Amino acid sequence: MRWIIIMGLLLMSELLKGQESAGSVDTLQTSAFEPRDWGSAVIPLAQGLAVTAGSSRFREREAVFSRHGSPLWEYGPGVAPLATTWVLKSAGVESRSTTRRMALAQLTGLGLQTGLSQLLKHTVCEVRPDGSDDESFPSGHSSLAFFCATVLDYEYGHHSPWISVGGYSLAVLTQFRRIHHNRHYVNDVVTGAGIGILSAHLGYFITDRLFRVRGERQATMCCGDSQFLAKYDHRPTSLSLSSGLLYGYNGIPHHLYDVSEDARLCHLRTTVGYSTSLTYDYFLDSHWAVETMGMLSQYKVQALSERKEERSEVNGNNLYQYHLTLGGLYSLTIGRQSRLGVRAFAGGRFSPGVAFKGPDGETAVRLKSRNDFEYGCGLNYELSGSSRYVSGLSCDYIHACSPLLRSRWQLGTYWRIML
């Protein structure tokens, strides 16, 4: 409660200061975040909460996962975007906010991010995959990483789209590492991302409305922006970074893995998957494009005893899959700055073998490696702006010619950079 009292005192002091000097504040204009900015926070929050509600079967029996170290340097990739914001500010690179507004908004947002994360941790009390404590939901690392990436995008994303995508790439990397180290489930990191993005937006919103700080520089339309919009309308060849969740039947057939003679009978079951991909779209004209995509998907696999009343002694592990596909895209401009696309694709998927160890450290279960053919189709909807990159939502159906995770639905978000 101490941090709540401190934040309340700061809010009251700044509010009074803003009311006393309302006539002498900076003359720079302010503007609210666009609807798509708020949507970028609501979507991962909704996905994370939905997965939490729908994946209780995976955690109905206490999970057994090997415990990995969690060094402090894991905060590095997540905090790097926020540090970059202040390095650029110190170097004199023009940001969207004055120094005072930027500092107050970030402090307010950090307070919200920490408060919301800790409140949910101590309310939900979800046990971590490694069983170390009951503060798994949501991921504090993930919420902090996406908070920092959102701040960098807001302050300096108008200079180059690579700045924004670079910040969000580090945030996605943080999510993958937290799942890999068995510190979190997929729903933890996705919900954390939504909290981080929402906290960043609310930090600026509260600073402008409650503190009465007016210090946002409106980015004017320049020649580069005009060329960007013209390219987006006529031939939007681009590179896209995306992340999403994979849904489908989570059981793994027995014939796909071997069980040692010393291990008790068990079966394997996965959580919802988490994916990130890089896609290149080469547009032949304003509508038709050829695309190639490389994707990495990750699942947390639990080894469960055949008898529900027994707890398996076999440690769970992470299953990774590497996808490479080629396809076609038809994209149609809707309205002034939005597009609706339909795509079809096909390619290969490689699933490395996974070893599940028993209490003695020896391999008790081994999931065989596989090379499979897969194909699918999907829809995407996106909005452009004057920040020289495009954000959108996608929904894909993926079918693999394999009994291992045969059919998947993928719901994701992406950031597209015009080339």
Contact by Cβ (8 Å): 207, 101: yes
pLDDT digits (tens, 9 = 90+) for 196-218: 999 999 998 888 887 665 556 55
Q: Are 181 and 90 in contact (CB under 8 A)?
A: no
Structure confidence at residue 16 as a pLDDT band (50, 70, 90)? very low
Question: What is 223-418's CATH number, 3.40.250.10, 2.40.40.20, 3.90.550.10, 2.40.160.20?
Answer: 2.40.160.20
The length of the chain, given as a count of residues = 419
- pLDDT tens profile 225-238: 667 777 777 888 99
261 has a pLDDT exceeding 90? no
Is residue 333 within 8 A of residue 286, CB to CB? The reply is yes
| 341 pLDDT more than 80 | yes
Q: Which residue has the tokens 């079918």?
A: 399
- Buried/exposed code over 380-390 (b: 16+ C-beta within 10 A; e: otherwise): bebbbbebbbb
Q: What is the mean pLDDT of residues 246-266?
A: 83
State the Cα–Cα distance between residues 404 and 254, nearest whole angstrom: 10
* Of 274, 245, 233, residue with least CA distance to 382: 233
Provide the pLDDT confidence category of residue 19 given band limits of 50, 70 and 90.
very low
- Strand, helix or coil at 96? coil
In angstroms, the Cα distances linking 418 to 194, 241, 277, 384 are: 26, 12, 17, 11
pLDDT at 42 over 50: yes
pLDDT at 11: 38
Res 385 pLDDT > 70: no
Beta pairing partners, 331: 341
Residue 251 bridge partners (DSSP): 269
Report domain extents, the chain: 2-209, 223-418
Q: What are the tokens at 416? A: 């597209």
Of all residues in the chain, the percent with pLDDT exceeding 70 is: 79
Average pLDDT value for residue range 305-313? 71
Which tokens go with 219? 């980015």
Angle, alpha carbons 78-241-48 (nearest 5°): 60
The pLDDT of residue 5 is above 60: no
Q: What is the mean pLDDT of residues 62-91?
A: 82
Minimum mean pLDDT among 127-131, 192-196, 245-249, 344-348: which range? Answer: 127-131
The predicted model scores a pTM of 0.85
CA distance 320 to 306: 24
Q: Tell me the torsion sign for CA atoms 131, 137, 142, 144.
A: negative
Is the pLDDT at 6 greater than 70, yes or no? no
pLDDT at 168 over 50: yes
CB 176 within 8 A of CB 274: yes
Which tokens go with 350? 């490689």
The pLDDT, as a whole number, for residue 118 is 93
Tokens of 120: 């949910």
Cα separation, 257 vs 263, in Å, equals: 13
- Given a cut of 60, whether residue 35 has pLDDT beyond it is no
Of the pLDDT bands very low, low, confident and very high (cuts 50, 70, 90), residue 221 is very low
Q: Which pLDDT score, from 0 to 100, does residue 98 have? A: 87
Core vs surface per residue 33-42: b (16+ CB within 10 A) or e:
beeebbebbe
- What element of type H or E holds 188? helix 186-209
Q: What is the mean pLDDT of the chain?
A: 82
Percent of the chain with pLDDT over 90: 42
Instruction: State how far the Cα of 340 lies from the Cα of 390, in Å rounded to an integer.
Output: 13
Of residues 372 and 415, more confidently modeled:
372
Q: Which of 181, 211, 272 is nearest to 11 (CA)?
A: 211
What is the pLDDT, as a whole number, of residue 395? 94
The values of phi and psi at residue 63, to 5°, are -70, 150
Query: What is the residue whose two structure tokens read 């707890």?
Result: 311
